[in-house]
Structure 1
Amino acid sequence: MPDRPLDEKLLGEYDPQFVEFYNSLMRRQTVMHEMSVEDARRAYDMSMIAEGEPAEVESQVDHEITYEGGSYQVRVFTPKGPTPKGGYPCFIYYHGGGWVVGCLKTDAVYCTHWANHANCVVVSVNYRHAPEHPFPAAVDDAWHSFTWVHDNASKLNVNPHRVAVGGTSAGGNLTANVCHMVNLYNAESKKPYPPLAYQMLFIASLDNGMGKLKYPSVMKYLNVAGAGAELLLWFSEKYFPEKSALSDVRASPMQYPDASFQQLPPTYFIVAGMDMLRDEAIAYHEKLLKFGIKSELNVYQGMPHIFFGMRAVLEKADQAITGSMEALKKAFNSTSTKL
């Protein structure tokens, strides 16, 4: 049985509640980057138990979507709340998992709470995964799912003028891509999409280019619990088998043109204070502010990347998810209800 004690150099920085949980349940577990892809996927699915109990929604329906690029699945959560005039607002969600692991079960518990609390339809997207489908398959599916929601707005009973997007980790990367792709599409199209109401970036991967080492958090948290350098490299090698892809803006949304940043929607960040990805999220937030975009940054000190999926066991994870629920509700309440 493996034994992976927390790095002594970082021990004093962790939140005590995380240390207790790690030592009792995680310290002797096999880590994903030492598993086969299939075993890693099973282990990741099992970890969803730490998200807690779902809310009772009106319905959840799965759809298989096929297009010229491939096929993927979505799960549509309809809330118990009353249908607003003009249709429900819609939150399109992209799960995390390094573009390799995750499925429709991933963060499904959170989706039920976002749906009921914000009285919105949540469309959770299970995009294609690497290594079977490397970059840019996940980005292609993310963009197609956005267009699918708009094409099926009446069937979904959603208002296309009240659409938000959000995602966790790799899903945050996809979220940022979709926001920029809307801008690029609208700049060239005679039938532009309505502006996005909101984007939510949870522990997001936003800059995977060759300059990643410029962020101090990358080197500081190489050996952080749960999602250190070995796991991130394992994911990256599967999603980006061609290293030339790392120079593509779809790998690193930080590198999209300034003109697109100037048109991004209001943004909400959840950032783990002990995350290799921390500083790129903060830099992205600061870039948004520079261009006059409303952006709220929430940094949870003492928490590693993996805290986001532990609402049932960590108080700060509960605070993060509860905060995201309230922020989404507030964002939709401030948007137009027109059709």
Structure 2
Amino acid sequence: CSQQEKTIDGLRGEFAELVQKSHLIESSDKHVHKLQLEQIRLTGVEQSLRKEVEFYKQEADSLRHENINLLNRLKAYGREGDSFTVKLDHELWARLQCLQKQGLSLLTENTNLCSRLLESIKRGGQSAGKIDGMEANGNCVDAQLVIEFEVKLQGFRRGTESLMRSLQSIASILDEKSSIVTESQAQCMDNNEFRSPDGGNSLGVATSELKAEKLLTSLLREKLLAKDQEVEQLQAELATATRGIDILRCEVQNTLDSLSCATHKMKELELQMMKKEEKISQLQNDLQESMKQLTIIKGILPKVTEERDMMWQEVKQCT
């Protein structure tokens, strides 16, 4: 018995050790799985950070090169004579970015408008067999959509024309700027006889500066004109949206009126149904009463027939 107890105790101990080891293995597996997931996540974060670092390095290099070019230009042509070209370059770059965004916005809106038009055509083809009232509301919505599409199309045309004019204007400004820079370089390389002895600005530099200021003014004027056109387009879209809201309000009011009429008709039908049910119940009660009376009459009829026969026999006997 003692040996069996020792054996049982040993087996229990081994079993407990095995259970502990299995729990440790399971917990270690879960921990390893969590660590693997965390490693994958950190790897993705590391890659994204590396990409951001590379992007910022490239941006820093481009800015460094741009600063070096600007510094070289300022050193080569003189700071006073070249500051206007730096300002003009800045405005041209900003205007080019604005035109790029405007072109992309026009393309995006054109795509969205085409998709909306296609969806409207599909809905119009699917809703061919509607009720008359629903068709009237649908026609109102379609008319509003047509007006909205026309306004959008006019906006696209104006935007395209404005974009073409802006591109032509910027191209001409760039040509004039290149000619101004070429003249300025030639004047700086030559021994200009108009330069003052105290190192002041030459007449050619002043002329170049005036030309650049004129170009900058024309660029700003063109930018202001484009902003005015954008404001006009936004006003037209706002008027169209306001009209659409009014139409939707009218449609909602018409729908509410139709719903109230349908509710009243429903109530009237319910009252009529209640009256008909009352009449049916009254007729059923009358029918039951008639059946009862008919049953009573059927019960009395044999007695009446018997009495009639007896009276008839008595009459015969009397005669």
TM-score bracket for this pair, using the shorter chain length: under 0.3
- Structure number having the greater strand percentage: 1
Kindly indicate whether structure 1 or structure 2 has the higher relative contact order, using CA contacts under 8 Å at least 6 residues apart. 2
What TM-score, normalized to structure 1? 0.17
Relative to its length, the structure with more helix (as a share) is 2
